[in-house]
Amino acid sequence: MRTSRLALPAAALVVLLAALARASPGAPAAPSAPQHAPVAPAKPAALIQAEPPPFSEGIYPCSACHAEQKDRTRRELGFHEEQQSVFDHDSEHRWCLDCHDYENRDVLRLANGDQVPFTESYRLCGQCHGDKYRDWRAGVHGKRIGHWDGEKTYFLCVNCHNPHSPRFKGVKEIVVDGKRTTAPTLAPMRPEPRPRRPDEMRSPAPASGAGR
C-alpha cells in the first residue's frame, strides 16, 4: 500500500510548505500598521471665530435707527417686541441698556463703560459668568469644530444662547447677510429617529444594485 503510506507525509509536507510560505519572521505582535511619514509637530493652533453673530434679519447696524439718544430711563419698549416678549435674563434687575451701549447701539458695553463689538460679546457675558467664560476659552464649554491638533473654529456664546433668554433650548442654522450661521431657538430640539429594535430587523433588505 505504497500510495496510502505516502499520503500522510505528503499531506504534512503540503501543509508545512504552505505554512512556510505564509510565515514571517516574528509573530504579529509587531506594533501598529505601516505608517506614513510622521506629521510635523503642530504649530500653535489658530482659533477662528465661527460664522457671524446671529442677528435677526435686517436689525444691524442698530445706528440706522438709533441715531439720536434721548431717554435713558428704564421702561417698556415700544419696539423690539421679539426680544422684549421673551426677556428673562435677570429681568428683575437688568434691562437693555445694561448691555447695549447708550451712546452707540452698534456696540455693547462692559460694566466699566468700555465698548466691545458684537463679535466680542463673550467679554460681556464673561463679566458675570466667569467660570463658564474660562471654560469656554479653554474649549471645554461650548462647541468647536476643526482640528484637535490645529486650526479650530469656535462659536460665540450667542450662537447657542439667546442673550435675551439665555437658557439653552435648541439651535438651528440661519442665514445672515448671505452667510450661514448658528442661532439659538426658542423651542427645544426634536430628537432624531430612535434606533430600530432587534425584532424590527428581520429579513435582509431586497438586493439593490448599490447595496450589494
Partner 1 sequence: MTGFLEFVKGCGRQVVSGGRAYRLWIGALLALIVVGGVAYAHQARTGLIATNMRDQVSWAFYIGNFTFLVGVAAAAVLLVIPAYVYQWKPLKEVVVLGELLAISALTMCLLFILVDMGRPDRFLHIMPLLGTPNWPRSMLTWDALVLHAYLFLNLTLVLYLLFKTYRGEHYDRRIFLPLVLLSIPLSISTHTVTAFLYNGMAARAYWNASILAPRFIASAFCSGPAVMIILFQILRRTNGLPIKDEAIWKIAELMSYAMFVNLFLLGAELFKEYYSATEHLLYTQYFWGGIGEHRTLVPYAWASLACSVIAFVLFLVPSTRRNYVTLNLGCVLIWAGVYIEKGMGLIIPGFTPDTLGEIYEYRPTATEWAIAAGVFGIGFLVFTMLVKIAVPILVGTFRAPERTEAPSQSPAGIPAH
Partner 2 sequence: MTTEKRTALPVVADAPLDPARRAFLRTAAAGAAVASMSACGVNLDDFLRRHFKELSPEELKRVLAKVEQRNRDRFGKETKVSATGARPGVEFGYGLDLSRCIGCRRCVYACVKENNQSRSNPQIHWIRVLEMDKEHGVDLARAESYYESDAVPRPGKFYFPVQCQQCRNPPCVKACPTQATWKEKDGIVVIDYDWCIGCRCCMSACPYGARHFNWATPTLPADELNPNQHYLGNRPRPKGVVEKCTFCVQRTREGRYPACLEACPVGARKFGNLLDPESEIRRVMETKRVFVFKEELATHPQFYYFYAT
Q: Which of residues 141-200 bind partner 1 (CB under 8 A)?
A: 197-199
Neighbours of 157 (CB within 10 A): 22
Using rule CB under 8 A, residue 208 touches partner 1: no
Tell me the closest approach of the beta carbon of residue 191 to partner 1, in angstroms: 18
Stretch in the footprint of partner 2 (CB under 8 A) among 51-59, 97-105, 120-128, 138-146? 138-146
- 182: nearest Cα among 145, 136, 127, 134: 145
Residue 176's H or E segment, with its range, is strand 170-176
Residue in 4, 35, 73, 208 binding partner 1, rule: CB under 8 A:
4
Q: Is 7 helix (H, G, I), strand (E, B) or coil?
A: helix
Residue 47, all three cell numbers: 482659533
Mark 151-190 with x for binding to partner 2 (rule: CB under 8 A) and - for no binding: ----x----x-------x-xx----------x----xxxx
Residue 191, all three cell numbers: 430628537
Whether 183 and 175 have beta carbons less than 8 Å apart is answered as: no
Residue in 9, 22, 187, 211 binding partner 1, rule: CB under 8 A:
22
Residue in 57, 138, 167, 178 binding partner 2, rule: CB under 8 A:
138
Cα–Cα distance list, 152 to 34, 53, 182 (Å): 29, 17, 16
Separation of alpha carbons 184 and 124, rounded Å: 18
Using rule CB under 8 A, residue 33 touches partner 1: no
Binding site for partner 1 (CB under 8 A): 1, 4-5, 15, 18-19, 22-23, 27-28, 197-199, 201-204
